[in-house]
Amino acid sequence: MSSLEQWVIDAKAGDNQAWNFLYGRYYPALYSIALQICGNTALAKDAVQNTFITAYLKLGSLKDGTAFGGWIRKILIRNCYRSLRRENNNRPLDEKCFASETS
């Protein structure tokens, strides 16, 4: 068993120190990915925050602790695209039309 898998098992058991370790280990990479997808620091930070909330709440559904990295990245990517859709839906109509005319 890898040490990462042990951290995941401990976090699933409610160990806050283990969760904090996972957060610290994955936050920089997740933020970098989110920034590339979102292109905006505020959206990227929100996506990463929502990702960790979702991961914390759904951690019990993760069967293989060694898959944590891929699992949390998948959650992040979904959150990034959800944030982008939400942001696009909040833009004024004339701004959306202008954006489509310039593409």
- Reduce the secondary structure of the chain to three states and give it as a string: CCHHHHHHHHHHCCCHHHHHHHHHHHHHHHHHHHHHHHCCHHHHHHHHHHHHHHHHHHHHHCCCHHHHHHHHHHHHHHHHHHHHHHHHHHCCHHHHHHHHHHC
Q: What is the pLDDT along the chain (103 residues), one digit of tens a residue?
A: 679 899 999 999 999 999 999 999 999 999 999 999 999 999 999 999 999 999 999 999 999 999 999 999 999 999 999 999 888 776 665 555 556 555 5
How many domains, in total, are found in the chain? 1
Q: What is the pLDDT of residue 16?
A: 95
Q: Which domain holds residue 34?
A: 3-102
CATH of the domain at 32: 1.10.1740.10
